[in-house]
Amino acid sequence: MNTIVEIDNLSVGFASDHGEIEAVDGASFDVREGEIVGLVGESGSGKSVTATAILRLIRKPGRLTGGHILFDGRDLCALPEDELQKIRGVKISMISQTPRTALNPLITVGKQVARLFVLHAGLSKSESRKHALDMLALVGIPEPARRARQYAHQFSGGMCQRVMIAMALATSPRLLIADEPTTGLDVSTAARILDLLRDLGVKTGASILLITHDLGVVATTCQRVAVMHAGQVVEIAPVRSLFRLPAHPYTRALVRSIPRTDRAIRMEPVPGSVPSLLNAPPGCRYAGRCPLVEARCHAFKPALKQIAPEHAVACFAVEDGRAVAV
């Protein structure tokens, strides 16, 4: 399978009065053709910053402090702004957690979708309108002709997210970044949005980077998963291995910390809390919370090492074989 985007040792820092906040610390992972990759972690783990970095939309005082983002054979980190404009929203698009605020409240929904076709495909007004209706129908909006004349406030949260998906897919992107697309939606609405993403990924050939903190969403939607903790990617695995044979102590704690609906379980919270990223020490950032910690974890950062096909872990305890499977 071809790689669509490869993130290589990416670092993002935010300058503050008290020092540098390293929100992403040497993250590496890739997304391949037609694949849905999950990026999971607690709040403050750097998932959204990573996504924003892929689009090169990090705002000041944040900046890329290192690494490469390879897309279509080019390093996005080195591209000038006018080249980025031809990629952003065209070849890589994004949907956010708050679809309603991402839509323009003063323009009808149909016009917002149609504009994309005028702007990016150079179609005439009537053609783009036809395409817009097709897109709205594709994402499952009933009566698209009538709904296209309405405004964002007349749409429910789930319907707004469908419009966002229609807009994101209108330009046939290679990569769709979905940042917590179902947070804030009701369970049944969320389930249908996920079904839609899965279907459309296959139909349009777009790969999806799905950012979420919900392991349930990961289990039902993704093929591979990268787990982030405090700005570091600690484990990358196929979805089944991640739940069956989680290797990193953080992943294991995360899997054990969630209640589930299909059977009664004992729940154990992840110990400690996400450490401060201000002038963070050089080593593994999970060290302060880890039951298997040793001296070198504080001083050195473990590299991602392959432990099985497609399954890589960044942990000294796993390298030494001290971490026994749960």
Partner 1 sequence: MPSLCEVDALKVHFPLHGVAAWWRTMREGTPPVVRAVDGVSFSVAAGETLGLVGESGCGKSTVARSLVRLVQPSSGAIRFDGTELSTLGNDDYNKMRPHLQMVFQDPTASLNPRLSARRMVAEPLKLHTNLGAAERRERTDAVLQEVGLGADLADRYPHELSGGQRQRVNIARALVTNPKLLILDEPTSALDVSLRARVILLLEELRQRHGLSYLFISHDLATVRYLASRVAVMYLGVIVEEAPVEALFDRPAHPYTRALLAAVPIPDPDARRDPFVLSGEIPSPIDIPPGCRLRARCPLAQPVCAEPVPYREVASGHFAACHLV
Binding site for partner 1 (CB under 8 A): 42-43, 156, 158, 186-192, 194, 213-221, 239-240, 243, 254-255, 257-262, 264, 267-270, 273
> Tell me, what DSSP letter sits at residue 187?
H
Minimum Å gap between C-beta 187 and partner 1 is: 4
Bin 214: left if φ > 0, else alpha if -120 < ψ < 50, else beta: beta
Report phi then psi at 62, rounded to 5.
Answer: -80, 155
Return the number of the residue (173 or 181) whose C-beta is nearest partner 1.
181
Distance of CA 64 to the CA centre of its chain: 18
Minimum Å gap between C-beta 155 and partner 1 is: 11
Instruction: Assign 11 to helix, strand or coil.
Output: strand
- 3-state secondary structure labels for all residues of 200-230: HHHHHCCEEEEEECCHHHHHHHCCEEEEEEC
- From 218, 168, 161, select the one nearest 184 (Cα to Cα): 161
Minimum Å gap between C-beta 182 and partner 1 is: 9
Minimum Å gap between C-beta 53 and partner 1 is: 22
Return the number of the residue (204 or 257) whose C-beta is nearest partner 1.
257
Nearest-10 crossing angle of helices 157-169, 187-204 = 10
Return the number of the residue (204 or 223) whose C-beta is nearest partner 1.
223
Return the number of the residue (186 or 320) whose C-beta is nearest partner 1.
186
Return the number of the residue (55 or 196) whose C-beta is nearest partner 1.
196
Return the number of the residue (66 or 238) whose C-beta is nearest partner 1.
238
Bin 56: left if φ > 0, else alpha if -120 < ψ < 50, else beta: left
Return the number of the residue (9 or 276) whose C-beta is nearest partner 1.
276
**H or E element, residue 83:** helix 81-85
- From 258, 237, 255, select the one nearest 315 (Cα to Cα): 237
Bin 122: left if φ > 0, else alpha if -120 < ψ < 50, else beta: left
Minimum Å gap between C-beta 230 and partner 1 is: 12
Instruction: Assign 75 to helix, strand or coil.
Output: strand
Minimum Å gap between C-beta 44 and partner 1 is: 8
Minimum Å gap between C-beta 191 and partner 1 is: 4
Return the number of the residue (71 or 286) whose C-beta is nearest partner 1.
286
Instruction: Assign 19 to helix, strand or coil.
Output: strand
Minimum Å gap between C-beta 225 and partner 1 is: 10
**H or E element, residue 112:** helix 109-116
